[in-house]
Amino acid sequence: MPMHVFSSLLRCIAYTIAIGTTSFNVLAQRDPTALFGANRQLPASDEPISVAVCDLNGDGRPDLVAANRGSNTASVLIATGDGAFHPRVEYPAGDQPYSVSIGDVNGDNIPDFVVANLQSNTASVFIGLGDGSFSNRQDFSVGVDPQCVVIRDLNNDNLPDLAIACSGSQTASVLLGNGDGTFQAAQEYSSYGDAVSVAVDDFNGDGAPDLALANRNIPQISVLLGYGDGTFMQRRDYRTSSSTPQSLATGDLNDDGIPDIAVATSTSGQASVHLGNGDGTFQESYSVRAGTGARYVSIFDINNDDALDLITANRSSNSMSVILNNGDGSFLLPREYATGSWPMSLATGDFNKDEKTDLVVANSQTDTLSVFIANEEGLFQSFVEYPIRHSVGWNSALGDLNNDGVLDVAVATSVYGIISVLIGNGDGTYQAHQDLHAGLSLTSVSIGDLDRDGDFDLIFTKWLNESIGILVNKGDGSFQLGQEYAIGPFPNGTAIGDLNGDEIPDIAVVTGQSGTTSVLLGNGDGSFQPRRDFPSGFGSLGVVISDLNDDGFADLVTQTRSSDPDTVCVLLGSGDGHFQPAMHTQVGDNPHSVAVGDLNIDNVPDIIVANSSSRTISVLLGNGDGTFQLHDELSAAYYPLSVAVGDFDGDNIPDIAVANSAANSFSIFCGNGNGSFQQRTDFAAGSSPRSLNAGDLDGNGSIDLAIANSSSSVLSVFLNQSGATVPCNPADFETPYGILEASDVTAYLTAYMNSNPTADLNGDGVLNFFDVSVFLSLYQAGCP
């Protein structure tokens, strides 16, 4: 860098230190929603069934409206413009609102919305006020069990009307609009079966709007051609190619200028396509592969190739499928993306103003809205799933199992007694799994070099045998079954570390029913001495080894779940393989997982606990003497089971990642550096994520995630998108790494003025001008 710039920086640093400038936060706060290649999960009200998109307040940003069956409300979420949304505002609707549609129903050029209420047999009209808020609803009677509402001009008077599919009365209700936000009495038109979805289009080219209905109880759709005055001819029915129609949409799928119909059918996991003839009739349908339990279908050109594609929400597989069109009405195999649980509908919009089509999905069981932001190809960021043949994926671990410098993954599957090993390629992808037979009823797997031969071995627990076993690494990534050791009832988790200071790996294992933590001291050749048991409490699921009081001795941390109250348990080590009596600190209900990290950057270990029943994350700050104080209870998603600590956003501050089993998601809590955390950001995971591991899976210096999913029998790999890389030298204090700039100087100054140990660059334990001198020398040297 130019000498005059360097001299100016030197004078600035000297002056800042001399006057004792008050510290300030300069570490860049990354948007946590952009960290991982997965969709964002927005908290919604109770049981969102339907979602619609429109700019509700005239700021040019698409906003959201959701119909919430469980809370009898409609939620309005106003966009911030960067793909995020302000907290929702709730509007009381009728009983069990099931569908929402947006349009200007009173001619004031301000969007309004209409909700179909399943239980009260009404349509609720909410008039927009122009600022994103709405008036109280006005209700209009419709048929029995209305399930889908569409706002369109049905009689060519340029006034919006309503078409509503009513399953209970097996009708379509048509309500002609008066232009002032009110509607005439409903006229009923018979469908062939339980009408659950309606679409409006001109199927015969006469300029009169027509109706199409999906009939759930029979594999047929009904088409009602319009006269142009808001009345309709008797229906004509068409058989779908697969059963249980749930939703339909219209569009020109084969580029012949004629509207076609696509139908989501839930039983077969397919979409049924009906090509139009142009005269209001349709050809025999054919099937297109979609997701399992396809519940909703939309037609849109998702990748901007001028061919209309299909997008389905798949309730049974908790996913969304994008099915690209070849342009002639034939389709590629679906690309599947994980959503929350029970996705029921979806809508499109450009949420981050990049001129690409994004998607939002309503997930009724997890009470969330999944937002998918399109990438450069017009598709969506996703994680990669690797099938594991034998369910259930109970526990997993990371380690280099074939000595190539790349993290591999081991997954213990409880039912069939298989440990699946996936060898990493170094770029975040993995080879097909290798299955190792370890015996029935596996509950955990850990990785460590037990015989000190430089190769990492596998350690597993078996609750049926009340034992732990070893798979010895041969050095090439293959394994042979080693010795087993008897443990107490229900062994649940292990950790490997030097527990007696002889530089030989030892094993700590917790047992759920005996209320003890067992220690097996290693002999150095991969064999172990008889276990020593230390009382720690009942219901433990895992154990962590760490020096909690800075005495140079390994300590143990576990959790108890069968006590009242539930606690985190600390056993301080004596340095000889023995441990002092357990110390307990109360945490949330049903703690499932524990991790250790320095959350407030005071060089003292802290403890994090995932509490599944209370849906919280307990943060316990260390006092430095092995005792802890409960600092915070963070609100988590449904059933958090596994927790890890790492700097996920590249700001040099520890963050928290947690897998939420019942929500089919994982959450990131970005740390503030003082033991507090920002509001969590949720990302969709696989089905029932149970075990989460953090590590650099693709070698770029950022921390990625590997999650074992127990219900779907897959390993999900999430590569970090934050752009963090390895610092080029110790002066590369601030992201983006790999370049030295003024922000690195400011970040170092902040660390220095806060007495942060990271500013001790000469390692003498004292912060003084010599550390500043080292920083300046490194800064002047620049990055290689």
- The model's pLDDT over 258-278, given as tens digits with 9 standing for 90+, comes to 999 999 999 888 899 999 999
Q: In what order do the strands lie in the sheet with 112-117?
A: 97-103, 112-117, 122-126, 138-141
Structural domain ending residue among the three candidates 234, 255, 270: 234
Residue 599 lies in a domain: yes
Number of compact structural domains in the chain? 3
DSSP state string for 35-53: SBSS-EEEE-SSSEEEEEE
Asked whether residue 744 falls in the same domain as residue 666, the answer is no
Asked whether residue 661 falls in the same domain as residue 693, the answer is yes
Q: List pLDDT tens digits, range 139-190.
A: 999 999 999 999 999 999 999 999 999 999 999 999 999 999 999 999 999 9
28 has pLDDT over 70: no
Residue 627 is predicted with a pLDDT of: 97
Question: For residue 4, what are the contacts with CB-CB under 8 A and spacing of at least 6?
Answer: none
Q: Residues 520, 485: contact at Cβ < 8 Å?
A: yes
Residue 665 is predicted with a pLDDT of: 87
Full domain range(s) for residue 66: 44-77+85-234
Phi, psi for residue 450 in degrees, rounded to 5: -80, -30
Max Cα-Cα span within the chain: 91
Buried-exposed string 82-103: b where 16+ CB fall within 10 A, e elsewhere: ebbbeebeebebbebbbbbbbb
Q: List pLDDT tens digits, range 371-427.
A: 988 876 656 666 677 887 655 557 899 999 998 999 999 999 877 788 999 999 998
Residue 161 lies in a domain: yes
Q: List pLDDT tens digits, range 294-351.
A: 999 999 999 889 999 999 999 988 889 999 999 999 999 888 888 888 999 999 999 8
Residue 135 lies in a domain: yes
Looking at the DSSP bridge assignments, the partners of residue 305 are none
Poorest-pLDDT segment among 317-331, 576-590, 761-775: 761-775
Residue 727 is predicted with a pLDDT of: 61
Structural domain ending residue among the three candidates 234, 256, 284: 234
The pairing of strands 245-251 and 161-166 is unpaired
Domain CATH code at residue 192: 2.130.10.130
Q: List pLDDT tens digits, range 691-746.
A: 999 999 988 888 999 999 888 778 889 888 765 444 667 777 765 556 677 778 87
pTM strictly above 0.75: no
Residue 543 is predicted with a pLDDT of: 96
Asked whether residue 631 falls in the same domain as residue 763, the answer is no
The pairing of strands 122-126 and 138-141 is antiparallel
Structural domain ending residue among the three candidates 175, 200, 234: 234
Asked whether residue 697 falls in the same domain as residue 635, the answer is yes
Asked whether residue 105 falls in the same domain as residue 176, the answer is yes
Q: What average pLDDT does range 454-459 have in this prediction?
A: 95
Asked whether residue 675 falls in the same domain as residue 767, the answer is no
DSSP secondary structure letter of residue 169 = T
User: Looking at beta carbons, which pairs linking 467-476 to residues 24 or more positions away fall under 8 Å?
Assistant: 467/491, 468/494, 468/507, 468/509, 468/520, 469/438, 469/439, 470/526, 471/419, 471/436, 471/438, 472/526, 473/401, 475/403, 476/402
Q: What is the mean pLDDT of the chain?
A: 89
Asked whether residue 704 falls in the same domain as residue 715, the answer is yes
Cα-only R_g, the chain = 30
Residue 9 is predicted with a pLDDT of: 42
Q: How far apart are CA 644 and CA 195, in angstroms?
A: 48
Q: Residues 588, 609: contact at Cβ < 8 Å?
A: yes
Q: How far apart are CA 530 and CA 705, in angstroms?
A: 36
Best CA proximity match to 744, nearest among 768, 778, 769: 778
pLDDT classification of 564: cutoffs 50, 70, 90:
confident
Q: List pLDDT tens digits, range 47-91.
A: 999 999 999 999 999 999 999 999 999 999 999 877 788 999 999
Asked whether residue 60 falls in the same domain as residue 200, the answer is yes
Best CA proximity match to 67, nearest among 91, 83, 43: 91
Residue 697 lies in a domain: yes
Residue 370 lies in a domain: no
Domain CATH code at residue 704: 2.130.10.10
Q: List pLDDT tens digits, range 638-672.
A: 899 999 999 998 888 999 999 999 888 899 999 99
Residue 3 is predicted with a pLDDT of: 40
Residue 557 lies in a domain: no
Q: List pLDDT tens digits, range 473-503.
A: 998 768 999 999 999 899 999 999 999 999 9
The SS3 assignment for 176 reads coil
pLDDT classification of 18: cutoffs 50, 70, 90:
very low
Q: How far apart are CA 320 and CA 297, in angstroms?
A: 10
pLDDT classification of 460: cutoffs 50, 70, 90:
very high
